[in-house]
């Protein structure tokens, strides 16, 4: 039995097509699993940050601006003050004051209200 060149070529093309289709199927499943895992990790981090924010705010609420500045500087963090908005921004944290007393802590990336 002889196989014609045309039949051999079309079999090779079909084989390559099958391999590419299988690879694409695998890649889509792998990407879906990766995205689901990333979302899960991101959600866990957000919950942890929220819990830490609540704990920190519970301990620091009512502290003065000077107390917060000493705390931030004691940790070796950089900070700056926005007096017109009653804020101290230290790295990625925003400390909001009601007059001279701490009112809220939130993320500089918009995680607050």
What pLDDT sits at residue 111?
Answer: 52
Give mean pLDDT, residues 86-92: 88
How distant, in Å, are the alpha carbons of 3, 24, 94, 98 from that of 60? 82, 53, 13, 13
One domain, residues 3 and 56: yes
**Could you tell me if 95 and 85 are in contact, meaning their C-beta atoms sit under 8 angstroms apart?**
no
Taken as a whole, the chain contains a residue count of: 113
* pTM summary value: 0.58
One domain, residues 39 and 92: no
One domain, residues 24 and 73: no
Torsion angles phi and psi, residue 82, rounded to 5: -115, 85
Tokens of 103: 């009112």
Assign 12 a pLDDT band (cuts: 50, 70, 90). very high
pLDDT at 98 over 70: yes
pLDDT at 97 over 70: yes
- Could you list the residue range(s) of the whole structural domain that residue 98 is in? 61-113
Q: Kindly report the average pLDDT of the chain as a whole number.
A: 87
Give mean pLDDT, residues 15-20: 96
Give mean pLDDT, residues 55-83: 87
One domain, residues 1 and 50: yes
Assign 65 a pLDDT band (cuts: 50, 70, 90). confident
- The residue assigned the tokens 């502290």 is 63
**111, 3, 16, 14: which is closest to 57 by C-alpha?**
111
CA dist., res. 92 & res. 105, Å (int): 11
One domain, residues 20 and 56: yes
């Amino acid at each position: 039995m002889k196989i014609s060149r045309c039949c051999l070529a079309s079999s090779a093309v079909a084989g390559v097509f099958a391999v590419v289709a299988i690879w694409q199927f695998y890649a889509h499943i792998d990407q879906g699993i990766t995205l689901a895992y990333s979302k899960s990790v991101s959600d866990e981090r957000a919950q942890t940050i929220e819990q830490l924010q609540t704990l920190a705010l519970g301990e620091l609420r009512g502290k003065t601006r000077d107390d917060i500045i000493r705390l931030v500087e004691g940790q070796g963090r950089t900070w700056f003050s926005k007096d017109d908005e009653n804020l101290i921004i230290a790295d990625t944290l925003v400390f909001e004051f009601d007059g001279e007393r701490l009112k809220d802590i939130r993320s500089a990336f918009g995680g607050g209200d």
